[in-house]
Amino acid sequence: MALRDIAIVGTAQRPSEVNSTFTSVEILLPVIQQLLDKVGIERSDIGFWCHGSCDYMSGQPFSFVSAVDAIGAWPPIVESHVEADGALALYEAWVKIQTGEVDVALVFSNGKTTSGPIDQILSLQTDPYMVAPLKPGFDALAALQARACLDAGVVTERQMAEVASRSRRDANNNAIAFTKGNESVEELLAMPYTMNPLRAHDCATPVDGCNAVVLAAGDIARRLATRPAWIRGIDHRIDTQRLGARSMTESSSAAIAAQKAGVGKDRIDVAELHAPYTHQELLLRKAMGLSESTHINPSGGALVANPAMAAGLARFAEAAESIFAGSADRVLAHCTSGPMLQQNLVCVMEGE
Amino acid sequence: MSEADGLVRLRQPIGVTYNWSAGPNATSHLAGLIAGKFIGKRCPSCALVYFPPRNGVCPKCAKILAGDVEVGPKGTITTFCIVNVPFLGQKIKLPYVAAQILLDGADISMQHLIQECEAEDVRIGMRVEPVWKDKSEWGPSLENIQHFRPTGEPDRVMGTESGAS
């Protein structure tokens, strides 16, 4: 079956904040309205709506249902939800458009990450029998992974500090970013460990945020955007949930997803990697075979603003925007999920 | 960890504490309840009055709700259910009536108890009013109201008011 040409034609993101006093619905609604205005379409033009969020983060079962209020459900709409990052919702919307049932989809995601102990909440994603009862904490699991990588010589603490330094500098040019800075690698290396071998700047900043993108097929996409970001390959792979059964010093799921998405077929100008820890960016770059010529996370990445369940879709938005602006011709967007890079979704987009 | 029947059992309760925000729209509603008032919100687009103001938006128009609107305190029963089945944690004597009540001036109904009349006398269109608990027990909750009771006013024929749902 021939695949349809599908592109991102518009994006909108809410600036990061912490301890937001708005409800998720109040946070989402203006962003969705802003996106519709930007793309120049009405709610009735959307054939499919897909939402990514996590009920554990709001502590309310079926809290995602209330998010439908933010998109308006009268007259009736076709919508779906994934209990995952919005990037996975984008994948579902892409499949929906591929079926030929719809031509335009709006994908949105939100995460009020600072309304609860996100480190503990995310660790509830682990195997409920053998791991979750130990309450390991996501930072602790990442620290174990970083330690394994350092001991194996796969990464160095200097390389990790370089990732943090570059991300914090790039964040200065991004209105959405939360953590910004101009520290040198030496200055960062002089900081104390917060969870050995991780320092504070090695861990992503949890923020409240949300974002949305519009996907459209073929000539509709060409009509809605001057330079659509065409999805040329997209693939999602998962490593085993058994933490002891997979290598902590490489990401095989990221490597397979990147290969299947066609990352290596041509040069990548910009890669927006969803790496909540500095060493994970290094593992991802290696797994995907990204060269030095690729500009990694010009937005500052998830490290400087990590709205859980929205940070992956944010990577798609940022990568697509660089196509819109003409500053890149071939880009990569990535989303991870689960502990220690368990799941990886990789997408390659191109301008025409 | 305990051992019985040769099996090892592990109990590991998991608890998470959240900082929950009601949001600005629900906040004026909750503050109203503390003051003994029913405060709803109006949609700036379709003008429907929401009580309670849900998530602060009109789901029909996808617009943030705007001005405060005081509704009630009297209302009309739009539908009801007579509860005859005992269940765990039950506090009210059976049979009792749970009803959807459309407060005067509101466009969506809310659920509450109907007391001070026989269950079999409750009907759609019946006019009711709130019976508040002692002020010392009030908080930001509809539980400030003990129940609703019939006012004795003539029934209202539903669906004749504009916007009634």
Extract the tokens encoding B23: 């949001």
What torsion, rounded to 10 degrees, do the Cα atoms A82, A87, A88, A91 define? 120
Q: How confident is the model at residue A345 (pLDDT cuts 50, 70, 90)?
A: very high
Does B22 contact A23 at a Cβ distance shorter than 8 Å? yes
> If you average pLDDT over residues B68-87, what whole number do you get?
93
pLDDT for the residue A60: 84
> If you average pLDDT over residues A280-304, what whole number do you get?
97
State whether A253 and A299 are in the same domain. yes
Q: How confident is the model at residue B162 (pLDDT cuts 50, 70, 90)?
A: very low
Residue where one domain finishes, among candidates B71, B88, B105: B71
Query: pLDDT averaged over chain A?
Result: 95
B8 touches chain A (CB under 8 A): no
Give chain B's domain count: 2
* pLDDT tens digits, A156-166: 999 999 999 99
> Is A59 within 8 Å of B20 (Cβ atoms)?
yes
Residue where one domain finishes, among candidates A229, A263, A293: A229
Q: Round to whole Å and give the CA distance between A191 and A91.
A: 39
pLDDT for the residue A153: 97
Residue where one domain finishes, among candidates B34, B50, B71: B71
State whether B81 and B110 are in the same domain. yes
The pLDDT of residue B165 is above 50: no
State whether A86 and A175 are in the same domain. no
Q: What is the percent of chain B with per-residue pLDDT over 90, rounded to a whole number?
A: 63
The pLDDT of residue A340 is above 60: yes
State whether B29 and B76 are in the same domain. no
Query: Which of B29, B57, B165 to probe by mutation at the A interface, max A CB count within 10 Å?
Result: B57
In a domain, residue B4? The reply is: no
Q: Round to whole Å and give the CA distance between A54 and B72.
A: 37
In the block, tokens 């719809």 appear at A102
Q: Round to whole Å and give the CA distance between B53 and A23.
A: 12
pLDDT for the residue B159: 64
Q: How confident is the model at residue A2 (pLDDT cuts 50, 70, 90)?
A: confident
Q: Residues 6 or more apart from A102 whose CB is under 8 A from it? A: A47, A48, A78, A96
CATH of residue A72: 3.40.47.10
State whether B105 and B58 are in the same domain. no
State whether B61 and B85 are in the same domain. no
Q: How confident is the model at residue B110 (pLDDT cuts 50, 70, 90)?
A: very high
In a domain, residue B36? The reply is: yes
* pLDDT tens digits, A201-210: 999 999 999 9
State whether A340 and A265 are in the same domain. yes
State whether A99 and A248 are in the same domain. no
State whether B133 and B95 are in the same domain. yes
For chain B, positions 54-113, list CB contacts with chain A under 8 A: 54-64
Query: Which of B1, B7, B21, B27 to probe by mutation at the A interface, max A CB count within 10 Å?
Result: B21
State whether A159 and A264 are in the same domain. yes
> If you average pLDDT over residues B10-28, what whole number do you get?
86
pLDDT for the residue A241: 87
pLDDT for the residue B8: 82
The pLDDT of residue B4 is above 70: no
Instruction: Report ipTM (2 d.p.).
Output: 0.82
A133 vs B12, B55, B56: nearest CB: B12
The minimum CA-CA distance between A116 and chain B, rounded to whole Å, is: 5
In a domain, residue B77? The reply is: yes
State whether B142 and B121 are in the same domain. yes
State whether B151 and B102 are in the same domain. yes
> Is B53 within 8 Å of B65 (Cβ atoms)?
yes
In a domain, residue A301? The reply is: yes
The pLDDT of residue B107 is above 60: yes
In a domain, residue B40? The reply is: yes
pLDDT for the residue B138: 94
State whether A201 and A211 are in the same domain. no
* pLDDT tens digits, B135-155: 999 999 999 999 999 999 999
> If you average pLDDT over residues A346-351, what whole number do you get?
98
In a domain, residue A261? The reply is: yes
State whether B81 and B153 are in the same domain. yes
> If you average pLDDT over residues B107-118, what whole number do you get?
94
pLDDT for the residue B161: 53
Which chain B residues are Cβ-neighbours of A73 within 8 angstroms? 59-60
State whether A78 and A49 are in the same domain. yes
Q: What is the percent of chain A with per-residue pLDDT over 90, rounded to a whole number?
A: 87
State whether B46 and B66 are in the same domain. yes
B64 vs A26, A121, A133: nearest CB: A26
In a domain, residue B163? The reply is: no
State whether B78 and B40 are in the same domain. no
pLDDT for the residue A258: 98
State whether B31 and B97 are in the same domain. no
pLDDT for the residue B91: 81
> If you average pLDDT over residues A14-43, what whole number do you get?
94
Can you give the residue range of the structural domain that contains A272?
Answer: 118-205+231-350
In chain A, whose CA is at the least distance from the CA of B17?
A116
Q: Round to whole Å and give the CA distance between B108 and B100.
A: 9
Does B22 contact A25 at a Cβ distance shorter than 8 Å? no
Residue where one domain finishes, among candidates B10, B44, B71: B71
State whether A91 and A157 are in the same domain. no
Does A68 contact B59 at a Cβ distance shorter than 8 Å? yes
Of A179-188, A218-227, B4-13, the one with minimum mean pLDDT is: B4-13
> If you average pLDDT over residues B66-80, what whole number do you get?
93
State whether A216 and A247 are in the same domain. no
The pLDDT of residue B72 is above 90: no
A18 touches chain B (CB under 8 A): no
Residue where one domain finishes, among candidates A196, A229, A262: A229
Q: Round to whole Å and give the CA distance between A181 and A172.
A: 7
State whether A74 and A143 are in the same domain. no
In a domain, residue A1? The reply is: no
A21 touches chain B (CB under 8 A): yes
Residue where one domain finishes, among candidates A195, A229, A263: A229
State whether A270 and A159 are in the same domain. yes
Q: What is the percent of chain B with per-residue pLDDT over 70, rounded to a whole number?
A: 93
> Is A236 within 8 Å of A344 (Cβ atoms)?
yes
Residue scoring higher pLDDT (A285 or A129): A285
State whether B104 and B41 are in the same domain. no
pLDDT for the residue B87: 83
Q: Round to whole Å and give the CA distance between A278 and A36.
A: 35
Q: Round to whole Å and give the CA distance between A111 and A89.
A: 14
State whether A134 and A182 are in the same domain. yes
Can you give the residue range of the structural domain that contains B152?
Answer: 72-157
A22 vs B18, B23, B60: nearest CB: B23
Which chain B residues are Cβ-neighbours of A30 within 8 angstroms? 64
The pLDDT of residue A137 is above 70: yes
pLDDT for the residue A133: 84
In a domain, residue B13? The reply is: no
Give chain A's domain count: 2
- pTM, two decimals, is 0.92
A69 touches chain B (CB under 8 A): yes
